[in-house]
Structure 1
């Protein structure tokens, strides 16, 4: 999914009454889910909730899981894991883009990864510090 499509998907555009209608729920249910942290809409002016198309999709998913007998705590965990997977997929996609750019430019060192999974910048011709245990990916020369 492109960056623009992702940002449109997360754009806070619906007021609570519209989001409730789109999700086929009562607005009070959306307020309760917000208090529980199931779906956290953006706030306009600090007070008014604004829901994104992504939030509405999550509300529909909550409704479906609830009808299937999953508890609200179970639903909260499922949504948290799905959000984590999406964030990781975005990070992997960004790293793939970075890798393709380095390969196009003809660089041999691609990147180094720190002990906590963070990308570490290493100057060309330099090696990562041994004490920090970075993993370095090199491209084989043909």
Structure 2
């Protein structure tokens, strides 16, 4: 392995979107069944990538989303509603992040435009 390929492999370990986990390992990590992962996939909450052999592969980001859905389902929320809630929570988090990002330059401005 060359230093460049070692660096690239290490980068993937830090990448939240890298599909590193098989269905069995992903289910184990979030305390769910493979059937639960298939169900939230069918509900379009997450779309796992496929390996060359056609096996589902999940990223850390997808596992966080799946774990949140599992919490809601365990609390009695129907799976379709849990998926919708998680989607809305994720969209809100992204909107708040973008809003904060856009406000930062404005806070540094001085001026007579206001």
Q: TM-score, normalised by structure 2?
A: 0.67
The residue that corresponds to 1:24 in the other structure is 31
1:16 is displaced (CA, Å) by 1.0
CA RMSD in angstroms comes to 2.9
Deviation digits for residues 109-135 of structure 1 (CA, Å, limit 9, x no counterpart): xxxxxxxxxxxxxxxxxxxxxxxxxxx
1:81 is displaced (CA, Å) by 0.5
More strand as a share of residues: 1
1:71 is displaced (CA, Å) by 1.2
Kept in 1, the 8 Å contact 2:19–2:49? The answer is yes
For 2:91 and 2:68, the matched residues in 1 are separated by 16
1:77 paired to 2:81: no
1:15 is displaced (CA, Å) by 1.2
The residue that corresponds to 1:14 in the other structure is 21
Structure 2 alignment gaps of length 5 or more: 1-10
| 1:92-131 matched pairs, under 5 angstroms | 92-96=99-103, 99=105, 103=108
Alignment: residue pair count? 100
Bigger Cα Rg: 1
| 1:28-107 matched pairs, under 5 angstroms | 28-45=35-52, 47-96=54-103, 99=105, 103=108
Deviation digits for residues 13-57 of structure 1 (CA, Å, limit 9, x no counterpart): 111111011112221221122111123223344943221222222
Greater RCO structure (CA 8 Å; 6+ sep): 2
Kept in 1, the 8 Å contact 2:49–2:58? The answer is yes
